[in-house]
Amino acid sequence: MQVNVSFTQLIAWLIFLLTSLYIFGVMELSYLGKVSLMCFILALGLFVLSKVPAGLVGMLCLVIAILLGIPETMLFQAFEQPIVWLMIGAFIISAVIEKSGLLERLVAWMARHCQTQLRAVLFIIVTVLCMTFTIPSTSSRAAAFMPIFQALQVQFPKYKTFFGMLIPIMILMLTNATLIGVGSHLIGVSILEGQTEQRISYLSFLIWGLPFALLISVITVMVLWWHIQPQSISPIQSSTKTVHTEKRPLTSKEKMAVVLIGITMLLWLTESIHGFDIAFVTIAMSLIMLLPQLNLIGWNEALKKVSWSLIFFVASATVLGELLVKYQVVDYFQNQMMHAIKALPIAHEWFLVLLLSTVSVLSHLVITSHTTRAVVLIPAFILLAQLLSLNPVAIVFIVLIGMNYCVTFPVSSKALLIFYELEPRPYTTKQLAQVSLYLMPLYIGLMIIMYFVYWQFMGLHLK
């Protein structure tokens, strides 16, 4: 058996070896903390630089962590995460949409109404924005968009990469529009209220966040258009597939699927009333759709539609992230960050905004979980606000906006992962990292501009 290792991979393994030696020889962490950090770095490196399937990478790194002393129960707890079951249910519902004929109908609708790329982009922005106000989960929004992406591939076969990146990135950018755009917003506001007895209302978040969300969405489209499109700008060619664009009445299958999907979305919207988690609602409704009496889709066929590599990776990556919290690796970096911040010239307001924006945006490179970022960063920055007599509301809002940027790696966001794991793969990790290289400084720059030209005049003063 011949093993081919490129020069880049050889350098990466050398860096990993040196990093591991530094972790175990220098860093003041417990043994299990060092193991957790080493395995997390290994998983991230393999995911970005190797061709090993994402699910296999995550599970292997988790197994290595267990062999080095992490409790075995962490492996079995990986599949107790609500996000795992939410995504399984979402894949099944997406398969029902395709099997019932609703996807073909959606393709026909887009053939009639989205005849140009610009119209398709506007349709995506408006639809994602509407979903942001109704579906409080980026994973659910991404899963709901999978049939639309399939329709776009039929309508615009040359622009698979463009739309495959635009949809999940747009889902992330438009989370800035509303308090319920992502769970970390609610966590951050809850921590703010608990520590300072101040809060950010739904309306306040909307007033501050919506303009930023719309502006960064336009910038995102321009960056993607410029970066992805240069070799592809040509008259849009139709797919070789035949698309029936004439209007026709709904079949009984389609009617049943519409009713069940409508009930699912209604239950998502009324979570605060019935009390059942979105993940439970999604898996429960997907199981109902599998009933043979409804004749929507078979059990075996539905399970084949689930991206099991993605499910295994999300499960293992979530646990690897939790290990960093459990064994105080995150606390270690948090303390290092706070010491570094105290030594900086933070008397200047512009420097404070730059610092908050940069640290919160870059945090996705270290802490992949959106929720974990909120749990770790928000208390630290509230403490900073209290030490420096700053406005904690402004601090928390700016940090929440910064944390919503997680575009660099597919592992940084469930929305990106869902699209990354589609077959055929719509984009590569290299393409995503290149887009982030341009988009990240623009995101930070817009945050700074928004503070000085809009937020501070709308009551969001740091001092």
376 within some domain: no
Instruction: Report the candidate in 404, 397, 20, 45 with the shortest Cα–Cα distance to residue 29.
Output: 20
Query: Taking phi first (over 0 means left), then psi (-120 to 50 degrees means alpha), and beta for anything else, what does residue 391 get?
Result: beta
What pLDDT digit, counting tens, does each position of 371-426 carry? 778 877 887 788 778 777 889 999 999 999 999 999 988 878 888 888 887 777 88
**Rounded Cα distance, 400 and 419, in Å:** 24
pLDDT in tens, 84-122: 887 788 788 878 887 888 877 776 777 677 778 888 899
142 has pLDDT over 50 = yes
The pTM of this model reads 0.71
CB 353 within 8 A of CB 447: yes
Whether 196 shows a pLDDT value over 80: the answer reads: yes
How far is it, in rounded angstroms, from Cα 371 to Cα 69? 26
Does residue 50 lie within any of the structural domains? Answer: no
Within a domain: 345: no
Helix (H) or strand (E) holding 348: none
CA distance 401 to 185: 9
Count CB-CB contacts under 10 A for residue 412: 23
Phi/psi of residue 171, nearest 5 degrees:
-60, -40
- Within a domain: residue 98? yes
Closest CA relative to residue 455, chosen from 379, 388, 391: 391
CA distance linking residue 211 with residue 191, whole number of Å: 25
- Please tell me the least confidently modeled range out of 192-201, 254-263, 339-348: 339-348
Q: Taking 70 as the threshold, does the pLDDT of residue 231 lie above it?
A: no
Total domains in the fold of the chain: 1
pLDDT in tens, 8-26: 778 888 988 999 999 998 8
pLDDT at residue 35 in the model: 93
Closest Cα partner for 318 from 26, 25, 71, 77? 77
> What does the mean pLDDT of the chain come to?
83
Cα(367)–Cα(357) distance, integer angstroms: 16
Q: Which amino acid is at 209?
A: G
Return the residue matching tokens 């740091």. 462
Q: Is 221 within the bounds of a domain?
A: yes
Average pLDDT over residues 176-192: 83
Q: What is the pLDDT of residue 239?
A: 43
Q: Does the residue 172 lie in any domain?
A: yes
Q: Which amino acid is at 382?
A: I
Calculate what percentage of the chain has a pLDDT beyond 70: 91
Please measure the distance between the N-terminal and C-terminal CA atoms of the chain and give it in whole angstroms.
64
> Is residue 309 classed as helix, strand or coil in its secondary structure?
helix
Domain-embedded: residue 43: no
Contact (Cβ atoms closer than 8 angstroms) between residue 103 and residue 150:
yes
H/E element, 435: helix 429-453
Report the largest interatomic distance among the alpha carbons of the chain, rounded to a whole angstrom: 69
Between helices 278-289 and 252-269, what is the axis angle to 10°?
170
Q: Is 388 among the domain residues?
A: no
Residue identified by tokens 């336009």 is 218
Within 10 angstroms of residue 338's Cβ, the number of other Cβ atoms is 14
- Owning domain of residue 127: 80-309
